[in-house]
Amino acid sequence: MRRAHLAATAALSITAALSATNAQAADLTLCWAAWDPANALVELSKEFEAQSGHTMKFEFVPWPNFADRMLNELNSGGKLCGLMIGDSQWIGGSAENGHYVKLNDFFDANGIKMSDFIDATVTGYSEWPKNTPNYWALPAFGDVVGWTYRKDWFEKPELQAAFKEKYGRDLGVPATFAELKDIAEFFQGREVDGKTVYGASIYTERGSEGITMGAMDVLYSFGFRYENPDKPYDMDGFVNGPGAVAGLEYYKALYDCCTPPGSSNGYMSEGIDAFKSGQVALQMNFAFTWPGFESDANVGGGKTGYFVNPAGPDGDQFAQLGGQGISVVSYSEKQDAALEYIKWFAQPAVQAKWWEMGGFSCLKAVTLDPAFPQSQPYAQTFLDSMAVVKDFWAEPSYATLLQASQRRFHDYVVAGNGTAKEALDGLVADWTETFEDDGKL
Protein backbone atom coordinates (compact mmCIF):
# COMPACT_ATOMS: atom_id res chain seq x y z
CA MET A 1 0.00 0.00 0.00
CA ARG A 2 0.95 3.58 -0.40
CA ARG A 3 3.95 4.52 1.67
CA ALA A 4 3.57 1.56 3.93
CA HIS A 5 7.12 1.93 5.14
CA LEU A 6 6.79 5.52 6.19
CA ALA A 7 3.64 4.57 7.97
CA ALA A 8 5.40 1.81 9.81
CA THR A 9 8.07 4.10 11.20
CA ALA A 10 5.50 6.61 12.29
CA ALA A 11 3.65 3.80 13.97
CA LEU A 12 6.60 2.88 16.08
CA SER A 13 6.82 6.35 17.54
CA ILE A 14 3.15 6.27 18.49
CA THR A 15 3.60 2.86 19.98
CA ALA A 16 6.35 4.14 22.19
CA ALA A 17 4.20 7.00 23.39
CA LEU A 18 1.40 4.75 24.53
CA SER A 19 1.85 2.47 27.46
CA ALA A 20 1.14 -1.17 26.83
CA THR A 21 -0.47 -2.17 30.10
CA ASN A 22 -2.77 -4.93 28.95
CA ALA A 23 -3.54 -7.67 31.39
CA GLN A 24 -3.20 -10.28 28.70
CA ALA A 25 -2.98 -10.58 24.97
CA ALA A 26 -6.11 -11.66 23.16
CA ASP A 27 -7.10 -12.80 19.68
CA LEU A 28 -9.33 -10.03 18.46
CA THR A 29 -11.42 -10.54 15.33
CA LEU A 30 -12.52 -7.59 13.26
CA CYS A 31 -15.39 -8.12 10.83
CA TRP A 32 -15.84 -6.00 7.76
CA ALA A 33 -16.50 -6.19 4.05
CA ALA A 34 -13.88 -7.64 1.71
CA TRP A 35 -12.68 -4.64 -0.27
CA ASP A 36 -9.60 -2.48 -0.76
CA PRO A 37 -10.06 -0.39 2.42
CA ALA A 38 -10.10 -3.60 4.44
CA ASN A 39 -6.69 -4.57 3.11
CA ALA A 40 -5.43 -1.14 4.09
CA LEU A 41 -6.84 -1.61 7.56
CA VAL A 42 -4.96 -4.89 7.93
CA GLU A 43 -1.73 -3.02 7.25
CA LEU A 44 -2.69 -0.21 9.60
CA SER A 45 -3.63 -2.61 12.38
CA LYS A 46 -0.18 -4.14 12.48
CA GLU A 47 0.82 -1.14 14.57
CA PHE A 48 -1.94 -1.91 17.01
CA GLU A 49 -0.78 -5.50 17.26
CA ALA A 50 2.79 -4.42 17.93
CA GLN A 51 1.70 -1.96 20.55
CA SER A 52 -0.96 -3.92 22.41
CA GLY A 53 0.33 -7.45 22.12
CA HIS A 54 -3.08 -8.59 20.88
CA THR A 55 -3.31 -10.62 17.72
CA MET A 56 -5.73 -9.31 15.12
CA LYS A 57 -7.78 -11.63 13.00
CA PHE A 58 -9.97 -10.46 10.18
CA GLU A 59 -13.20 -11.76 8.75
CA PHE A 60 -13.95 -10.01 5.49
CA VAL A 61 -17.07 -10.84 3.50
CA PRO A 62 -17.64 -9.60 -0.07
CA TRP A 63 -20.23 -6.87 -0.38
CA PRO A 64 -23.09 -8.80 -1.95
CA ASN A 65 -23.11 -11.18 1.04
CA PHE A 66 -21.85 -8.79 3.68
CA ALA A 67 -25.14 -7.66 5.21
CA ASP A 68 -26.67 -11.09 4.96
CA ARG A 69 -23.88 -12.86 6.73
CA MET A 70 -22.97 -10.29 9.32
CA LEU A 71 -26.55 -9.60 10.37
CA ASN A 72 -27.00 -13.33 10.59
CA GLU A 73 -23.92 -13.47 12.80
CA LEU A 74 -25.29 -10.70 15.06
CA ASN A 75 -28.78 -12.12 15.18
CA SER A 76 -27.51 -15.55 16.08
CA GLY A 77 -25.55 -14.07 18.97
CA GLY A 78 -22.25 -15.11 17.39
CA LYS A 79 -19.01 -14.56 19.25
CA LEU A 80 -16.87 -14.48 16.12
CA CYS A 81 -16.59 -10.71 15.76
CA GLY A 82 -15.15 -8.63 18.58
CA LEU A 83 -15.19 -5.54 16.42
CA MET A 84 -17.78 -4.98 13.74
CA ILE A 85 -17.46 -2.33 11.07
CA GLY A 86 -21.13 -2.58 10.22
CA ASP A 87 -23.04 -0.72 7.58
CA SER A 88 -24.56 2.61 8.56
CA GLN A 89 -28.15 1.40 8.31
CA TRP A 90 -27.63 -1.40 10.83
CA ILE A 91 -27.18 0.98 13.69
CA GLY A 92 -30.84 1.20 14.72
CA GLY A 93 -31.39 -2.52 14.87
CA SER A 94 -28.05 -3.25 16.46
CA ALA A 95 -28.63 -0.63 19.15
CA GLU A 96 -32.19 -1.65 19.95
CA ASN A 97 -31.53 -5.37 19.91
CA GLY A 98 -28.41 -5.14 21.98
CA HIS A 99 -25.91 -6.30 19.38
CA TYR A 100 -23.58 -3.34 19.92
CA VAL A 101 -22.09 -1.97 23.13
CA LYS A 102 -23.03 1.62 23.89
CA LEU A 103 -19.88 3.71 23.77
CA ASN A 104 -20.81 7.00 25.52
CA ASP A 105 -19.09 6.21 28.82
CA PHE A 106 -16.07 4.85 27.06
CA PHE A 107 -15.76 7.97 24.89
CA ASP A 108 -16.07 10.21 27.94
CA ALA A 109 -13.52 8.25 29.92
CA ASN A 110 -10.98 8.36 27.11
CA GLY A 111 -11.48 11.89 25.92
CA ILE A 112 -12.87 10.90 22.53
CA LYS A 113 -15.19 13.69 21.38
CA MET A 114 -17.75 13.12 18.66
CA SER A 115 -17.52 16.80 17.78
CA ASP A 116 -14.07 16.02 16.39
CA PHE A 117 -15.63 13.97 13.62
CA ILE A 118 -17.48 15.14 10.50
CA ASP A 119 -21.03 15.85 11.64
CA ALA A 120 -22.75 13.84 8.93
CA THR A 121 -20.71 10.76 9.79
CA VAL A 122 -21.53 11.00 13.49
CA THR A 123 -25.23 11.17 12.70
CA GLY A 124 -24.92 8.53 10.00
CA TYR A 125 -22.65 5.98 11.64
CA SER A 126 -22.83 6.44 15.40
CA GLU A 127 -26.12 7.82 16.65
CA TRP A 128 -29.28 5.98 17.57
CA PRO A 129 -31.87 7.37 17.87
CA LYS A 130 -30.70 9.84 15.23
CA ASN A 131 -29.80 13.32 16.39
CA THR A 132 -29.47 12.28 20.01
CA PRO A 133 -26.12 11.93 21.80
CA ASN A 134 -26.27 8.16 22.07
CA TYR A 135 -23.25 6.62 20.41
CA TRP A 136 -22.91 3.01 19.31
CA ALA A 137 -19.93 3.33 17.00
CA LEU A 138 -16.90 5.42 16.17
CA PRO A 139 -17.01 6.79 12.60
CA ALA A 140 -14.48 4.61 10.83
CA PHE A 141 -14.82 4.98 7.11
CA GLY A 142 -16.50 7.91 5.43
CA ASP A 143 -18.14 7.08 2.16
CA VAL A 144 -20.60 8.62 -0.22
CA VAL A 145 -21.89 8.02 -3.73
CA GLY A 146 -20.24 10.22 -6.33
CA TRP A 147 -19.29 10.04 -9.96
CA THR A 148 -16.14 9.41 -11.92
CA TYR A 149 -15.63 10.40 -15.55
CA ARG A 150 -13.05 9.79 -18.23
CA LYS A 151 -11.18 13.07 -18.18
CA ASP A 152 -9.03 11.99 -21.11
CA TRP A 153 -12.13 11.44 -23.27
CA PHE A 154 -13.68 14.72 -22.18
CA GLU A 155 -10.49 16.45 -23.32
CA LYS A 156 -10.48 15.07 -26.85
CA PRO A 157 -11.02 18.02 -29.22
CA GLU A 158 -13.06 16.02 -31.74
CA LEU A 159 -15.45 14.86 -29.01
CA GLN A 160 -15.67 18.34 -27.54
CA ALA A 161 -16.58 19.72 -30.96
CA ALA A 162 -19.16 17.04 -31.63
CA PHE A 163 -20.73 17.57 -28.24
CA LYS A 164 -20.88 21.34 -28.63
CA GLU A 165 -22.52 20.98 -32.02
CA LYS A 166 -25.17 18.64 -30.66
CA TYR A 167 -25.98 20.22 -27.29
CA GLY A 168 -24.82 23.82 -27.71
CA ARG A 169 -22.59 23.78 -24.67
CA ASP A 170 -19.13 22.59 -23.71
CA LEU A 171 -18.45 19.02 -22.76
CA GLY A 172 -17.65 19.20 -19.07
CA VAL A 173 -18.60 18.06 -15.61
CA PRO A 174 -22.42 18.05 -15.42
CA ALA A 175 -24.04 20.41 -12.95
CA THR A 176 -27.48 18.82 -13.16
CA PHE A 177 -28.82 15.33 -13.72
CA ALA A 178 -30.30 16.49 -17.05
CA GLU A 179 -26.82 17.42 -18.23
CA LEU A 180 -25.49 14.13 -16.97
CA LYS A 181 -27.97 12.25 -19.10
CA ASP A 182 -27.01 14.30 -22.17
CA ILE A 183 -23.39 13.32 -21.69
CA ALA A 184 -24.27 9.68 -21.14
CA GLU A 185 -26.41 9.69 -24.29
CA PHE A 186 -23.61 11.35 -26.22
CA PHE A 187 -21.15 8.59 -25.33
CA GLN A 188 -23.57 5.69 -25.66
CA GLY A 189 -22.47 3.48 -28.56
CA ARG A 190 -19.79 5.95 -29.68
CA GLU A 191 -16.40 4.84 -31.00
CA VAL A 192 -13.62 6.08 -28.76
CA ASP A 193 -10.05 4.98 -29.48
CA GLY A 194 -11.41 2.30 -31.79
CA LYS A 195 -13.70 0.73 -29.19
CA THR A 196 -17.44 1.01 -28.75
CA VAL A 197 -18.11 2.68 -25.42
CA TYR A 198 -21.23 3.32 -23.40
CA GLY A 199 -22.65 6.19 -21.40
CA ALA A 200 -22.81 5.43 -17.72
CA SER A 201 -22.55 2.64 -15.22
CA ILE A 202 -25.18 2.86 -12.50
CA TYR A 203 -26.32 0.62 -9.66
CA THR A 204 -28.94 -1.98 -10.60
CA GLU A 205 -28.17 -4.88 -8.27
CA ARG A 206 -31.19 -6.76 -6.95
CA GLY A 207 -29.90 -9.09 -4.25
CA SER A 208 -28.63 -6.83 -1.50
CA GLU A 209 -28.96 -3.03 -1.67
CA GLY A 210 -27.53 -1.92 -5.00
CA ILE A 211 -30.47 -0.47 -6.88
CA THR A 212 -31.81 1.27 -3.78
CA MET A 213 -28.50 3.03 -3.19
CA GLY A 214 -28.35 4.12 -6.82
CA ALA A 215 -31.96 5.22 -7.18
CA MET A 216 -32.01 7.02 -3.83
CA ASP A 217 -28.85 8.84 -4.79
CA VAL A 218 -30.85 10.37 -7.64
CA LEU A 219 -34.24 10.61 -5.92
CA TYR A 220 -33.07 12.81 -3.04
CA SER A 221 -32.10 15.62 -5.41
CA PHE A 222 -35.43 15.32 -7.24
CA GLY A 223 -37.38 16.00 -4.06
CA PHE A 224 -37.83 12.58 -2.50
CA ARG A 225 -38.21 12.70 1.29
CA TYR A 226 -38.61 9.72 3.61
CA GLU A 227 -41.30 11.27 5.75
CA ASN A 228 -43.26 14.34 6.62
CA PRO A 229 -40.87 16.52 8.62
CA ASP A 230 -43.72 17.38 10.97
CA LYS A 231 -45.13 13.91 11.35
CA PRO A 232 -42.76 10.94 11.63
CA TYR A 233 -43.50 7.92 9.44
CA ASP A 234 -46.08 9.85 7.41
CA MET A 235 -44.81 8.97 3.94
CA ASP A 236 -47.68 9.59 1.53
CA GLY A 237 -46.82 12.56 -0.68
CA PHE A 238 -43.14 12.46 0.31
CA VAL A 239 -41.95 9.03 -0.75
CA ASN A 240 -44.34 9.08 -3.71
CA GLY A 241 -44.47 12.83 -4.32
CA PRO A 242 -44.19 14.26 -7.85
CA GLY A 243 -40.47 14.91 -7.40
CA ALA A 244 -39.82 11.35 -6.33
CA VAL A 245 -41.80 10.04 -9.31
CA ALA A 246 -39.81 12.23 -11.71
CA GLY A 247 -36.59 11.04 -10.08
CA LEU A 248 -37.43 7.36 -10.49
CA GLU A 249 -38.53 7.96 -14.09
CA TYR A 250 -35.19 9.65 -14.68
CA TYR A 251 -33.33 6.68 -13.21
CA LYS A 252 -35.16 4.28 -15.50
CA ALA A 253 -34.57 6.52 -18.52
CA LEU A 254 -30.87 6.59 -17.68
CA TYR A 255 -30.84 2.81 -17.33
CA ASP A 256 -32.67 2.33 -20.63
CA CYS A 257 -30.70 4.80 -22.72
CA CYS A 258 -27.19 4.80 -21.50
CA THR A 259 -25.90 1.70 -19.75
CA PRO A 260 -23.70 -1.05 -21.26
CA PRO A 261 -25.37 -4.32 -22.31
CA GLY A 262 -25.97 -6.73 -19.46
CA SER A 263 -26.12 -4.06 -16.74
CA SER A 264 -29.22 -5.53 -15.14
CA ASN A 265 -27.60 -6.60 -11.89
CA GLY A 266 -24.56 -4.47 -11.17
CA TYR A 267 -23.26 -2.88 -8.02
CA MET A 268 -19.90 -1.59 -6.86
CA SER A 269 -17.62 -4.24 -8.36
CA GLU A 270 -19.44 -4.24 -11.70
CA GLY A 271 -19.07 -0.46 -11.78
CA ILE A 272 -15.36 -0.72 -11.09
CA ASP A 273 -14.96 -3.29 -13.86
CA ALA A 274 -16.95 -1.26 -16.38
CA PHE A 275 -14.95 1.87 -15.66
CA LYS A 276 -11.51 0.28 -15.46
CA SER A 277 -12.02 -1.67 -18.68
CA GLY A 278 -12.85 1.55 -20.52
CA GLN A 279 -16.42 0.54 -21.21
CA VAL A 280 -18.11 3.67 -19.85
CA ALA A 281 -17.58 7.42 -19.79
CA LEU A 282 -19.37 8.03 -16.49
CA GLN A 283 -19.62 5.85 -13.44
CA MET A 284 -21.68 6.11 -10.30
CA ASN A 285 -19.87 4.61 -7.34
CA PHE A 286 -18.90 5.01 -3.73
CA ALA A 287 -15.83 7.11 -2.98
CA PHE A 288 -13.95 4.10 -1.65
CA THR A 289 -13.40 2.99 -5.25
CA TRP A 290 -11.55 6.16 -6.17
CA PRO A 291 -8.05 5.37 -4.81
CA GLY A 292 -8.14 2.20 -6.91
CA PHE A 293 -8.69 4.21 -10.11
CA GLU A 294 -5.74 6.48 -9.42
CA SER A 295 -3.40 3.50 -9.23
CA ASP A 296 -4.95 1.65 -12.18
CA ALA A 297 -2.93 1.09 -15.34
CA ASN A 298 -5.85 1.90 -17.68
CA VAL A 299 -7.60 4.81 -16.02
CA GLY A 300 -5.01 6.06 -13.53
CA GLY A 301 -2.49 8.84 -13.98
CA GLY A 302 -4.88 11.71 -14.47
CA LYS A 303 -7.29 9.98 -16.86
CA THR A 304 -10.04 9.91 -14.26
CA GLY A 305 -11.96 12.90 -12.96
CA TYR A 306 -14.38 13.05 -10.05
CA PHE A 307 -17.52 15.05 -9.43
CA VAL A 308 -20.15 15.43 -6.76
CA ASN A 309 -23.61 14.07 -7.39
CA PRO A 310 -25.26 16.70 -9.67
CA ALA A 311 -28.28 18.77 -8.71
CA GLY A 312 -31.88 17.90 -9.43
CA PRO A 313 -34.37 20.00 -11.46
CA ASP A 314 -35.06 22.37 -8.56
CA GLY A 315 -31.43 22.82 -7.61
CA ASP A 316 -31.55 20.41 -4.66
CA GLN A 317 -28.33 18.51 -4.33
CA PHE A 318 -27.88 15.47 -2.13
CA ALA A 319 -25.85 12.29 -2.20
CA GLN A 320 -26.39 8.83 -0.78
CA LEU A 321 -24.28 8.16 2.30
CA GLY A 322 -22.19 5.03 2.45
CA GLY A 323 -19.54 4.17 4.96
CA GLN A 324 -19.43 2.61 8.38
CA GLY A 325 -18.67 3.10 12.01
CA ILE A 326 -16.69 0.65 14.11
CA SER A 327 -18.60 -0.97 16.96
CA VAL A 328 -17.97 -3.42 19.76
CA VAL A 329 -20.11 -6.55 19.59
CA SER A 330 -21.86 -7.25 22.87
CA TYR A 331 -21.66 -11.05 22.51
CA SER A 332 -17.90 -11.01 22.20
CA GLU A 333 -15.67 -12.16 25.03
CA LYS A 334 -12.96 -9.78 23.87
CA GLN A 335 -14.69 -6.48 24.57
CA ASP A 336 -11.75 -4.98 26.45
CA ALA A 337 -9.38 -5.60 23.61
CA ALA A 338 -11.98 -4.26 21.19
CA LEU A 339 -12.34 -1.02 23.14
CA GLU A 340 -8.59 -0.73 23.25
CA TYR A 341 -8.55 -0.94 19.48
CA ILE A 342 -11.11 1.82 19.13
CA LYS A 343 -9.12 4.02 21.48
CA TRP A 344 -6.04 3.45 19.37
CA PHE A 345 -7.92 3.96 16.10
CA ALA A 346 -9.37 7.31 17.21
CA GLN A 347 -5.98 8.95 17.56
CA PRO A 348 -5.32 11.77 15.07
CA ALA A 349 -1.97 10.32 14.01
CA VAL A 350 -3.52 6.95 13.22
CA GLN A 351 -6.41 8.62 11.39
CA ALA A 352 -3.96 10.65 9.31
CA LYS A 353 -2.22 7.49 8.26
CA TRP A 354 -5.55 5.87 7.60
CA TRP A 355 -6.32 8.54 5.00
CA GLU A 356 -2.86 8.24 3.54
CA MET A 357 -3.33 4.51 3.00
CA GLY A 358 -6.63 4.95 1.18
CA GLY A 359 -9.01 4.86 4.14
CA PHE A 360 -11.50 7.71 4.18
CA SER A 361 -11.00 9.16 7.63
CA CYS A 362 -13.91 11.01 9.24
CA LEU A 363 -11.78 13.00 11.67
CA LYS A 364 -12.01 16.74 11.17
CA ALA A 365 -8.35 17.13 12.15
CA VAL A 366 -7.58 15.16 9.00
CA THR A 367 -10.14 16.47 6.55
CA LEU A 368 -9.96 20.13 7.58
CA ASP A 369 -6.20 20.18 7.29
CA PRO A 370 -5.32 22.87 4.70
CA ALA A 371 -3.26 20.34 2.79
CA PHE A 372 -6.14 17.87 2.57
CA PRO A 373 -7.79 19.00 -0.69
CA GLN A 374 -4.48 18.71 -2.53
CA SER A 375 -3.52 15.40 -0.96
CA GLN A 376 -5.42 13.37 -3.57
CA PRO A 377 -7.19 14.28 -6.83
CA TYR A 378 -10.48 13.17 -5.33
CA ALA A 379 -10.06 14.75 -1.90
CA GLN A 380 -12.08 17.89 -2.62
CA THR A 381 -14.89 15.94 -4.30
CA PHE A 382 -15.04 13.70 -1.25
CA LEU A 383 -15.33 16.69 1.10
CA ASP A 384 -17.99 18.37 -1.04
CA SER A 385 -19.96 15.14 -1.27
CA MET A 386 -19.81 14.50 2.45
CA ALA A 387 -21.40 17.91 2.93
CA VAL A 388 -24.61 16.90 1.14
CA VAL A 389 -25.22 13.34 2.34
CA LYS A 390 -28.47 11.65 3.21
CA ASP A 391 -28.85 8.08 4.40
CA PHE A 392 -31.43 5.39 3.92
CA TRP A 393 -33.73 4.62 6.88
CA ALA A 394 -31.53 3.47 9.77
CA GLU A 395 -34.61 2.07 11.52
CA PRO A 396 -34.37 -1.29 13.30
CA SER A 397 -36.50 -2.62 10.45
CA TYR A 398 -34.13 -1.25 7.85
CA ALA A 399 -33.64 -4.67 6.26
CA THR A 400 -37.36 -5.07 5.67
CA LEU A 401 -37.62 -1.53 4.33
CA LEU A 402 -34.68 -2.17 2.05
CA GLN A 403 -36.13 -5.42 0.73
CA ALA A 404 -39.27 -3.59 -0.27
CA SER A 405 -37.43 -0.84 -2.12
CA GLN A 406 -35.11 -3.34 -3.83
CA ARG A 407 -38.11 -5.14 -5.17
CA ARG A 408 -40.16 -2.10 -6.17
CA PHE A 409 -37.25 -0.33 -7.84
CA HIS A 410 -35.94 -3.36 -9.67
CA ASP A 411 -39.42 -4.27 -10.83
CA TYR A 412 -39.87 -0.85 -12.36
CA VAL A 413 -36.40 0.20 -13.51
CA VAL A 414 -34.97 -3.08 -14.80
CA ALA A 415 -37.97 -5.33 -15.36
CA GLY A 416 -40.07 -2.45 -16.70
CA ASN A 417 -43.27 -3.35 -14.87
CA GLY A 418 -45.82 -0.62 -14.18
CA THR A 419 -45.10 3.06 -13.73
CA ALA A 420 -42.87 5.00 -11.39
CA LYS A 421 -45.90 6.26 -9.53
CA GLU A 422 -47.17 2.72 -9.02
CA ALA A 423 -43.77 1.58 -7.80
CA LEU A 424 -43.55 4.37 -5.23
CA ASP A 425 -47.18 3.98 -4.16
CA GLY A 426 -46.41 0.33 -3.61
CA LEU A 427 -43.36 1.30 -1.62
CA VAL A 428 -45.42 3.56 0.64
CA ALA A 429 -47.80 0.65 1.22
CA ASP A 430 -44.94 -1.77 2.01
CA TRP A 431 -43.22 0.64 4.35
CA THR A 432 -46.47 1.56 6.09
CA GLU A 433 -47.10 -2.12 6.72
CA THR A 434 -43.61 -2.52 8.18
CA PHE A 435 -44.02 0.41 10.53
CA GLU A 436 -47.43 -0.88 11.54
CA ASP A 437 -45.85 -4.22 12.40
CA ASP A 438 -43.28 -2.34 14.46
CA GLY A 439 -46.04 -0.53 16.31
CA LYS A 440 -44.76 2.82 15.13
CA LEU A 441 -47.90 3.64 13.17
Partner 1 sequence: MTDDIISRERAAAPGALRRRIGGLSDRALAWIFIVPTILLLLAINIFPLIWTIRLSLTNYRANRTNAELEWVGLRNYERILTDPDIWNSMQATAHFLVWTLVFQVLIGFSLAYLINKKFKGNDLWTTIIVLPMMLSPAVVGNFWTFLYQPQIGLFNYVVAFVSGVDPSSFSMIGDVRLAPWSIVIVDTWMWTPFVMLICLAGLRSIPDYIYEAAEVDRASRWRQFWTITIPMVLPFLMLAVLFRGIENFKMFDLVVQLTGGGPGSITELTSINLKREAFEKWRTGYSSAYAIILFVTVFGLASIYVKALNKVKER
Partner 2 sequence: MNHSVTEPSRLQKWCAGILVVGYALVTIMPLAWIIATGFKSPGDAIAYPPKLIYEPTLEGYVNLFTTRSRATPETLAQLGPPETWYDAIVRQYDMVISGPSRYGERFVNSVIIGFGSTFLSIFLGTLAAYAFSRFKVPLKDDLMFFILSTRMMPPIAVAIPIFLMFRQLGLSDTHLGMILLYTAVNLSLSVWLLKGFIDEIPVEYEEAALIDGYTRFQAFYKVVLPQATTGIASTAIFCLIFAWNEYAFAVLLTSGTAQTAPPFIPTIIGVGKDWPAVAAGATLFLVPVMVFTILLRKHLLRGITFGAVRK
Residues that bind partner 2 (rule: CB under 8 A) add up to a total of: 35
Q: Of these partners, partner 1, partner 2, none, which one is at the site of residue 43 (CB under 5 to 8 Å by kind)?
A: partner 2
The answer to whether residue 268 forms part of the interface with partner 2 (CB under 8 A) is yes
Min CB(50)–partner 2 separation in Å: 17
Q: Distance between CA atoms of 426 and 434, rounded to whole angstroms?
A: 12
End-to-end CA distance of the chain: 50
According to CB under 8 A, which one of 83, 213, 272, 350 is a site residue for partner 2?
Answer: 272
Decide if residue 278 touches partner 2 (CB under 8 A). no
Footprint (CB under 8 A) of partner 2, residues 165-224: none
34 binds partner 2 (CB under 8 A): yes
User: How open is the CA angle 335-338-343, to the nearest 5 degrees?
Assistant: 125
We find the least distance from the C-beta atom of residue 62 to partner 2, in angstroms, to be 5
Three-state DSSP state, 241: coil
Q: Binds 407, which of partner 2, partner 1, none (CB < 5 to 8 A, cut-off by type)?
A: partner 1
The residue (of 54 and 252) whose beta carbon lies closer to partner 1 is 252
Min separation Cβ 244 and partner 2, Å: 31
Residue 61 is a binding residue for partner 2 (CB under 8 A): yes
Contact 226, 307 (CB under 8 A): no
Q: Which among 150, 162, 122, 153 has a CA at the least distance from the CA of 138? A: 122
From 160, 176, 269, 330, residue interacting with partner 2 (rule: CB under 8 A): 269
Candidates 61-69, 133-141, 146-154, 388-396; binding stretch for partner 2 (CB under 8 A):
61-69
Q: Residue 65 binds which entry of partner 2, partner 1, none, with Cβ cut-offs from 5 to 8 Å by kind?
A: partner 2
* Encoded amino acid at 230, one letter: D
Please choose, from the candidates 96, 77, 99, the residue with its C-alpha nearest in 3D space to the C-alpha of residue 86.
Answer: 99
Q: Which helix (H) or strand (E) holds 320?
A: strand 319-320
- DSSP-derived letter for residue 152 is H
Nearer residue to partner 1 within complex by CB, 263 or 335: 263
State yes or no: residue 298 binds partner 2 (CB under 8 A): no
Q: Which residues bind partner 1 (CB under 8 A)?
A: 68, 71-72, 74-75, 93, 96-98, 206-207, 261-265, 396-397, 399-400, 403, 407, 410-412, 414-417, 437
Task: Write the DSSP symbol of residue 54.
Answer: P
**Of 53 and 98, which has the nearer Cβ to partner 1?**
98
Kindly list the distances between the CA atom of residue 357 and the CA atoms of 2, 267, 323, 324, 384, in Å, as whole numbers in the listed order: 6, 24, 16, 17, 21
Q: Enumerate residues 6+ apart whose C-beta is below 8 A from 209.
A: 67, 267, 392, 402, 406
**Interacting stretch for partner 2, rule CB under 8 A, among 8-16, 59-67, 199-207, 364-372?**
59-67
Which residue stretch of 57-65, 170-178, 225-233, 368-376 sits at the interface with partner 2 (rule: CB under 8 A)? 57-65
* Among the listed residues 49, 50, 64, 347, the single contact to partner 2 using CB under 8 A: 64
> Which phi-psi region, left, alpha or beta, contains residue 185 (left: φ > 0; alpha: ψ -120 to 50)?
alpha
Options 141-149, 248-256, 267-275, 376-384: segment touching partner 2 (CB under 8 A): 267-275
Under 8 Å between Cβ of 265 and 410: no
Task: Compute the residue count for the chain.
Answer: 441
Residue 226 to residue 324: CA distance in whole angstroms: 21
Minimum CB distance to partner 1 smaller for 76 or for 228: 76
Q: 183: left (phi > 0), else alpha (psi -120 to 50), else beta?
A: alpha
Q: Does 69 bind partner 2 (CB under 8 A)?
A: yes
Interatomic CA distance for residues 272 and 296, integer angstroms: 11
Q: Minimal distance in Å, beta carbon 394 to partner 1?
A: 15
Alpha helices in 260-305 (DSSP H): 268-276, 290-294
CB of 358 to partner 1, least distance (A): 29
Give the β-pairing of 195-196 and 191-192: antiparallel
Q: Return residues touching partner 2 (CB under 8 A).
A: 1-5, 29, 31, 34-36, 39, 42-43, 59, 61-65, 69-70, 72-73, 76-78, 80-81, 268-270, 272-273, 276, 295
